[in-house]
Amino acid sequence: MSQSVTHLTPDERQTLFENFLRCIDREENLIHYRLTWGLQWNLASFGALFALQQISIENNFKFTIYILISFFGIVATILSIIGIAAAHLQAEFLIKSINRRLGVTDDNWDSTEFIRPYGDPATIHRPARWVSKFLPLLFILIWIFVFLWAYPEIAHHGR
């Protein structure tokens, strides 16, 4: 069980906050890694589509490969989204935990000697988190477009 806030010395409060910041930094790094991994898998898939355009094969088989590559791109993106969401949940847990331990109520850090990480929750923190959620969603839309583009393109060349 954690110590009461009133029983923590200033040094213990500082140590607690520094540990919290390290945990937050870890979650932010995981978000960046997962965005990077998703981007790399998607770029590799786009490269495979480009290479597929350079190969002369039957259009029905080419369409099947397009579907598989698009599906792979969407799956890689969904995995990225799941990983990013997990890191966001962990960051929220950490913030709630530090709020409780430091005696912060309603995300009002003015009562502490510390600056709230991420800034104001309503105007900075939550809107900024959307950036890491938007990029993978954008890739899913791109993959849907690729799939919708591929079918008529291949069907037209198959005639």
How many structural domains comprise the chain? Answer: 1
Q: What is the pLDDT of residue 4?
A: 46
Q: Which residues of 34-64 are buried (b: 16+ CB within 10 A; e: fewer)?
A: bbeebbebbeebbebeeeeeeeeeeeeebbe
The tens-digit pLDDT sequence of the chain (159 residues) is 444 455 788 899 899 999 999 999 999 999 999 999 999 999 999 999 889 888 888 777 877 888 888 889 899 999 999 999 999 999 989 988 988 888 887 777 877 888 777 777 667 777 778 888 888 889 889 888 887 877 676 666 555
Cα distances (Å, whole numbers) of residue 150 to 48, 58, 76, 156: 14, 14, 20, 10
E-assigned strand segments in 13-142: none
pLDDT, position 133: 85
Contact of 116 with 107, CB cutoff 8 Å: yes
Task: Determine contact, residues 6/92, Cβ cutoff 8 Å.
Answer: no
H-run or E-run covering 144: helix 126-157
The H helix count followed by the E strand count for the chain is 3, 0
pLDDT at 153: 66
Contact between residue 91 and residue 27 where contact means Cβ atoms under 8 Å apart = yes
At residue 41, the pLDDT reads: 92
To 5 degrees, how large is the angle CA 129–CA 135–CA 141? Answer: 135
Range of the domain at 64: 5-157
